[in-house]
Amino acid sequence: MDGGLSLSQRCEGAKPPSLTTPSDPGKIEGMSERIIPLLDQRHQGLAMKIPTAPLPGEGLLRDQLHRPLRDLRISVTDRCNFRCNYCMPKEVFDSQYTYLPHGDLLSFEEITRVARVFVGLGVRKLRLTGGEPLLRKNLEVLIGQLAALRTPDGQPLDLTLTTNGSLLKRKAQDLRRAGLQRVTVSLDGIDDAVFRAMNDVDFPVSDVLEGIAAARDAGLGLDAHGRFSHLKINMVVKRTTNLDQILPMARHFHGSGMTLRFIEYMDVGTTNGWRMDDVLPSAEVIRLLQTEFPLVALEPSAPGETAQRWGYANALGRHDPALGEVGVISSVTQAFCHDCNRARLSTEGKLYLCLFAGQGHDLRDLLRNQATDEQLKAAIGQVWQQRDDRYSELRGRHTPGPAAPRRVEMSYIGG
């Protein structure tokens, strides 16, 4: 599917063809049922130029909407062992799907070099993602290299990783030893049948729960008060699929000290058949939680934080940190583009400034063509300064259908 055109009905929101066989309406005789995006966005790269004018001084880098650059998400693989239908639906990501060849991937040394340059531009937080990052061989080596990076004033970075938890039981100790501080585990339900259906590979929920326990035992996510508030559990809510898991998930993690967060189902990529009807607004999630748990609103813990925080309250109506907190990430109903301080590095070194972007900037080309660190810094800085995207805030204005903006898949760009 290298950049070529192929058939996609679901992806384009078009009606199914009228040519049907009587035995199976909707299917065309002799045609594969596989659904492929019309255009493979991975192969669309924007050339990066090395500017001649110097960048403004340290700490002053701002984009067109005055947003600083603070957070870099690094995708280390485009492969995943789950097939969640909102992210990597089986019909597209099947046995014939072509993943990026290994030689295209950034090496650990290249990733670390890029991260160091980003730190020089103001980045203070690094998140490893994918695909499923724990599928990348020897990931601990990369974590060790990233953990050794320092800010210009000698501080370590906030280093974290997002995982589906399937390999965490085996890897938690090694990750911690390598220097990882915390993890976010994606978990879309606590009921085994619901969870198996959502990951669509029949993966049992008990294995992920064991992974979370292993992360806690390894000390991942421990905060300064000896609680696990930095061990985060993320649940994507699809109204038609796992709404009934919200309260059971809250009951399960209540009192654990871990932070459970509910994410609105987003229209990332073009393969998940997203519909607004499937989005459960965060306000409804909070209303539902309040039927059982008294909650109090909490201040954001950092500028640009994606989640709105709520604390479990005690009998006096005050937040009791021992009970933990919940969060909601309302990227659809309360877009937070104005606060977005994130850049994303795809598995093969393209720089994306928005989760909903159609094209990335080809950083790998500069990296592999002898650009110096100063040149990389200037080129990245220039791209950031020109940034003016705010897809989610403009979502309602985008026309659905073939003319809609093209978006990369989340499994490729990283969550």
Instruction: Tell me which residues touch ligand SAM (CB under 6 A).
Output: 80, 86-87, 129-130, 132, 162-164, 186, 234, 236, 263, 265-266, 268, 272, 410-411, 415
What is the rounded distance in angstroms from the CA atom of residue 348 to the CA atom of residue 99?
11
Task: Identify which of residues 129 and 229 has a Cβ nearer to ligand SAM in the complex.
Answer: 129
Task: Identify which of residues 8 and 186 has a Cβ nearer to ligand SAM in the complex.
Answer: 186
Task: Give every CB contact of residue 124 below 8 A, 6+ residues apart in sequence.
Answer: 70, 71, 151, 157, 158
Instruction: Report, in Å, the least distance between residue 332 CB and ligand SAM.
Output: 9
Task: Identify which of residues 319 and 344 has a Cβ nearer to ligand SAM in the complex.
Answer: 344
What is the rounded distance in angstroms from the CA atom of residue 238 to the CA atom of residue 263?
9
Task: Identify which of residues 140 and 264 has a Cβ nearer to ligand SAM in the complex.
Answer: 264
Instruction: Report, in Å, the least distance between residue 8 CB and ligand SAM.
Output: 17
* Cβ-based neighbour number of residue 395 at 10 Å: 17
Task: Identify which of residues 45 and 415 has a Cβ nearer to ligand SAM in the complex.
Answer: 415
Residue 31 three-state SS: coil
Phi, psi of 356 (to 5 degrees): -105, 15
What is the DSSP code (8-state) at residue 279? B
Instruction: Report, in Å, the least distance between residue 415 CB and ligand SAM.
Output: 2
Phi, psi of 160 (to 5 degrees): -145, 180
Instruction: Report, in Å, the least distance between residue 22 CB and ligand SAM.
Output: 35
Q: Which region, left, alpha or beta, applies to residue 35 given φ > 0 means left and ψ of -120 to 50 means alpha?
A: beta
Instruction: Report, in Å, the least distance between residue 92 CB and ligand SAM.
Output: 13
Task: Identify which of residues 68 and 349 has a Cβ nearer to ligand SAM in the complex.
Answer: 349
Residue 295 three-state SS: strand
Instruction: Report, in Å, the least distance between residue 294 CB and ligand SAM.
Output: 27
What is the rounded distance in angstroms from the CA atom of residue 142 to the CA atom of residue 298?
34
What is the rounded distance in angstroms from the CA atom of residue 309 to the CA atom of residue 300?
7
Instruction: Report, in Å, the least distance between residue 30 CB and ligand SAM.
Output: 32
Instruction: Report, in Å, the least distance between residue 333 CB and ligand SAM.
Output: 13
**What sign has the CA pseudo-torsion 245, 246, 248, 254?**
positive
Q: b/e per residue, 57-82, with b = 16+ CB within 10 A?
A: eeeebebeeebbbbbbbbbbbbbbeb
Residue 75 structure tokens: 């995708």
What is the rounded distance in angstroms from the CA atom of residue 132 to the CA atom of residue 344?
16
Task: Identify which of residues 114 and 268 has a Cβ nearer to ligand SAM in the complex.
Answer: 268
Q: How far is CA 355 from the centre of its chain?
A: 8
Task: Identify which of residues 346 and 378 has a Cβ nearer to ligand SAM in the complex.
Answer: 346
Task: Identify which of residues 131 and 257 has a Cβ nearer to ligand SAM in the complex.
Answer: 131
Instruction: Report, in Å, the least distance between residue 279 CB and ligand SAM.
Output: 9
Instruction: Report, in Å, the least distance between residue 77 CB and ligand SAM.
Output: 9
CB 194 within 8 A of CB 80: no
Residue closest to ligand SAM when measured from CB atoms: 415
| β-pair type (295-297, 308-312) | antiparallel
CB 140 within 8 A of CB 87: no
Residue 329 three-state SS: strand
Instruction: Report, in Å, the least distance between residue 165 CB and ligand SAM.
Output: 8
Task: Identify which of residues 84 and 383 has a Cβ nearer to ligand SAM in the complex.
Answer: 84
Residue 283 structure tokens: 């306000």
Residue 265 structure tokens: 């189902």
Task: Identify which of residues 116 and 171 has a Cβ nearer to ligand SAM in the complex.
Answer: 171
What is the rounded distance in angstroms from the CA atom of residue 405 to the CA atom of residue 331?
17
CA end-to-end span of the chain = 23
